[in-house]
Chains A and B, each alone.
Chain A
């Protein structure tokens, strides 16, 4: 089966602390001081530079995703899930490593970010579609489907600023879900809109799976993952804990989470048993 995503040893380092909070003159001053120091004592300053506070949001993450496969990414908050997605979607660059992506990649929920409030739903569909890398022709072909799916036929020529937040999200979801990007990121997608629209979204997601799209799922209930996803990537503190069949990984993950929950509930007991 052809490959959709190939990620090799992706690492991402973030710098913490003072960076970006100083004014221009403070920077000039500290750079001058550092320059003089470097001139006077070369060894000491290079040490000081290396000790700048930083952390690795991702460390050595490798995986391969084939076309038509579904990958679930699980992990606690701060595990590096969204950083990984940002790197794969070219929002930011990795510090080390390399990823090859075959096809267009779009997240179903974040599309609304490109909406312009003064413009009608119609104009925003085109604007957003082209931002995602689709041609106007492709969008025109899907236009009726998108409008139909969103249920906003009446309001399609109204400026988006007059939409309710529910309508806004519905339109955003409809654009990405109906344009059929080759790789779809499902990010807590089931929690959109009212009950009826939720059902529609869910059906749409199911049909995305049936059509054999490549899908990356993040932040979903474990029951969904077990049912919909082939493979699962478990991250903790930016590192891969496990990568394998979803059932296996989720079982391990849940076991560990339960231990952690029990752990916090009964610290004394836990201490005794160990």
Chain B
């Protein structure tokens, strides 16, 4: 497009106070190629100059699952439904990692990208979206490893049936990603003012996991604490995710509705705060 071909009547963009000009869906679409390149960049960069490279996909969930196996299955004797504990824990860990990485990386949007944001304009929302994209890419091979593990169990005679609801898996992942985007952008907007919030987020995510049915099914939660699990959207999503994989748990309608409502609310509030923050954050940080 040369300068002379530009449509005169319509400006490419308008700057105005108070106008939500950043991250408009049309803008986001125009920058889709940047999104793809950023996903690729983060995916590749994470494994450059590391000893194990892409093997981290497999090592980390295995080690964590083994630790859970010892602590929660052998010592605490928590039920893992009909699944072998290793499969139960690993399926939980990889999806929790997906969620928690999404939240913490989105929360760092403004802190990490401040130098670029100060120099070049592009829809800021591209950054958190690309972080989520990268995490989806990280999750897929881990899911592959889980299927390998299941295959191994099946070969050794311990049959694990996959659920016919497998097609619902992307849907539950999408809900988790939306929750992570909403929560992460809310925190990102707040980090413009309080920079240490990201540390709190780390702690919070660690604690949150124990209430999210990652280490035990809903049936193992004592009745006096069940309200906590009901109000926790991630508990419902993890349950949904596992039931769409194996069918040994069943997603509960009520809690799922609550979880979806919370997710939509958080996404709306988080994105609104993000938009507010991106307008003038370069004046503050």
Contacts and interface: CB of A to CB of B under 8 A. Distances in A.
B40 to A, nearest CB: 8
A111 B53 CA distance: 30
A99 B121 contact: no
B45 interface: yes
Contacts of B18: 93
A186 to B, nearest CB: 15
Contact of B15 (A19, A27, A88, A113): A88
Contacts of B225: none
A17 to B, nearest CB: 13
B23 to A, nearest CB: 11
B8 A135 contact: no
B14 A100 contact: yes
B31 interface: yes
Given A101-B12, A123-B41, A114 B17 contact: no
B157 interface: no
With a 10 A CB-CB cut-off, give which of A101, A107, A133 has the most chain B CB atoms. A133
Contacts of B49: 118
B146 to A, nearest CB: 29
Given A99-B14, A182-B6, A91 B41 contact: no
A111 B118 CA distance: 11
Nearest to A139: B33
Interface string B40-54: 010011001100000
A104 interface: yes
A118 B48 contact: yes
Nearest to A10: B15
Contacts of B279: 92-93
Contacts of B45: 116, 118-119
A76 interface: no
B15 A98 contact: yes
B11 A102 contact: yes
B167 interface: no
A100 B3 contact: no
Contacts of B208: none
Nearest to A4: B3
A90 interface: yes
B4 interface: yes
Contacts of B158: none
Interface string A1-14: 01110100000001
B37 interface: yes
B119 A90 contact: no
A247 interface: no
Contacts of A214: 3
Given A94-B17, A95-B17, A113 B34 contact: no
B15 A102 contact: no
Given A19-B284, A118-B48, A133-B122, A212 B17 contact: no
29 contacts: A2-B6, A2-B8, A24-B194, A67-B4, A89-B120, A90-B13, A90-B22, A91-B117, A91-B282, A93-B15, A93-B18, A93-B280, A94-B16, A95-B17, A97-B16, A99-B14, A101-B14, A102-B12, A111-B120, A113-B118, A119-B41, A126-B37, A127-B41, A131-B120, A131-B122, A135-B33, A136-B33, A182-B1, A213-B3
Interface of A: 2-4, 6, 14, 19-20, 23-24, 27, 67-68, 86-104, 107, 110-111, 113-114, 116, 118-119, 123, 126-127, 130-133, 135-136, 180, 182, 212-214
Given A91-B120, A97-B17, 9 more contacts: A99-B15, A101-B14, A103-B6, A113-B115, A113-B116, A114-B119, A116-B45, A131-B116, A182-B1
